[in-house]
């Protein structure tokens, strides 16, 4: 069953990408990324690249980061569940954001050691969020 977000409905059709308003909330590619991020289960994580692939945007890991930066706050996306390749927190070690992400992950039962989570915490996003 495809993921349906409470504000945006079902994930978008890749054929409509690149059309419409320039506002982030009207960008189908960003909406697809937000759907995938919102569906990462509590206690699991995914890499920026895995999120992009699951949204039908392979090779667009940086777009995942952009999608998190411009996401409306009322989406309440679990940003802390998105990590760099290899399960690493991408914020500078010792920064406020690094510590906040590690704290949130630990509160969900994920072990964080030197800014990295174990491979067992990685969610299997597969292609369940995007049906080409």
DSSP states of 13-51: PGGGTT-S-SSGGG-HHHHHHHHHHHTSPTT-BEEHHHH
Collapsed DSSP state (helix, strand, coil) of residue 124: coil
- Kindly indicate the confidence band of residue 11, based on its pLDDT and cuts at 50, 70 and 90: low
- Kindly indicate the confidence band of residue 131, based on its pLDDT and cuts at 50, 70 and 90: very low
The whole-number pLDDT of residue 106 equals 98
> What's the pLDDT tens digit per position in 32-80?
999 999 999 999 999 999 999 999 999 999 999 999 999 999 999 999 9
Residue 81 has pLDDT above 80, yes or no: yes
The burial of 129, by beta-carbon neighbours within 10 Å (0-12 exposed, 13-18 middle, 19 or more buried), is given as buried
- Kindly indicate the confidence band of residue 26, based on its pLDDT and cuts at 50, 70 and 90: confident
Class of domain 4-121: mainly alpha
What stretch of H or E contains 10? Answer: strand 9-10
The whole-number pLDDT of residue 27 equals 86
Q: How far apart, in whole angstroms, are the C-alpha atoms of residue 104 and residue 66?
A: 21
Q: How far apart, in whole angstroms, are the C-alpha atoms of residue 47 and residue 1?
A: 22
pTM summary value: 0.79
The burial of 124, by beta-carbon neighbours within 10 Å (0-12 exposed, 13-18 middle, 19 or more buried), is given as exposed
């Amino acid at each position: 069953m495809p993921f349906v977000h409470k504000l945006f409905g079902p994930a978008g059709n890749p054929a409509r990408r690149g059309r419409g308003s320039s506002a982030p909330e009207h960008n189908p590619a960003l909406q697809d990324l937000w759907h995938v991020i919102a569906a990462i289960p509590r206690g699991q994580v995914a890499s920026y690249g895995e999120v992009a692939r699951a949204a039908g945007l392979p090779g667009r890991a940086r777009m995942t980061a952009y999608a998190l930066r411009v996401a409306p706050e009322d989406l309440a996306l679990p940003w802390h569940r998105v990590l760099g390749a290899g399960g690493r927190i991408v914020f500078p070690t010792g920064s406020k954001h690094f510590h906040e992400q590690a704290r949130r992950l630990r509160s969900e039962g994920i072990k964080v050691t030197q800014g990295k989570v174990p491979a067992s915490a990685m969610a299997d996003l597969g292609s369940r969020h995007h049906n080409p």
